[in-house]
Chains A and B, each alone.
Chain A
Amino acid sequence: DAKTTQPTSMDCAEGRAANLPCNHSTISGNEYVYWYRQIHSQGPQYIIHGLKNNETNEMASLIITEDRKSSTLILPHATLRDTAVYYCIVRVFSGYSTLTFGKGTMLLVSP
């Protein structure tokens, strides 16, 4: 699986959009980009994933660059409950998911 690089921490004001970047310059053509988040002391929670097209669901949007070497997770209207560690993971879409979690980005949403 390709390696990812994320900023250690980010701040965002409540109600504003949170844009979390991820670099995955060595991504292969059959590797997907996954985003998970972990709210303090809880198990990680799946957010969204994509291959090359931009994706949106009820939680967030995922923007993947045309060359697929980087992506951005967008939380359109961040709330205090979005304060968490966000993990960007790149992996081949296969039956089982031995995901490799790095240290992620600590997003702090402030009033």
Chain B
Amino acid sequence: NAGVTQTPKFRILKIGQSMTLQCAQDMNHNYMYWYRQDPGMGLKLIYYSVGAGITDKGEVPNGYNVSRSTTEDFPLRLELAAPSQTSVYFCASSSLLAGANTGELFFGEGSRLTVL
């Protein structure tokens, strides 16, 4: 299993540009999440999904959009990039299955985004 895979690993955007951060997991997890981490800070939840077709806002959703058309994929869309969105973005997933659900989140390696 590859686990949680994020692309791209690095990206530089100009103010006002749009882009999509891709996230895929091959563990058949129902739950997926997007976090952002600013320098020296903890992680903040942007959006999460409890299954295909179902998404909900986290702590800091403004400026972002998500979709969940399949169990495996959970892309994060930035429509009008702003310098405040410069951050490291982490995608994560967790299992629903009874007995397999320890509450453990599996994280990707992160996507570093710089908006200039």
Alpha-carbon separation in the docked complex, A99 to B48 (Å): 11
Residue B74 interfacial (CB < 8 Å): no
Task: State whether B43 touches A44 (Cβ < 8 A).
Answer: yes
Residue B52 interfacial (CB < 8 Å): no
Alpha-carbon separation in the docked complex, A55 to B50 (Å): 28
Q: Return the contact of B107 from the options A43, A102, A103 (Cβ within 8 A).
A: A43
With A96-B48, A96-B94, A98-B33 in contact, is A42–B109 under 8 Å at CB?
yes
Closest to B44 in A: A101
For B44, list chain A residues within 8 Å (CB): 101
Q: Return the contact of A97 from the options B105, B108, B109 (Cβ within 8 A).
A: B105
Task: State whether B107 touches A44 (Cβ < 8 A).
Answer: yes
For A42, list chain B residues within 8 Å (CB): 109-110
Residues of A within 8 A of B (CB): 32, 34, 36, 41-46, 49, 87, 91, 93-104
In the A-B complex, list the 6 residue pairs whose CB atoms are closest, starting with the nearest: A43-B107, A101-B42, A101-B43, A46-B104, A96-B31, A102-B42
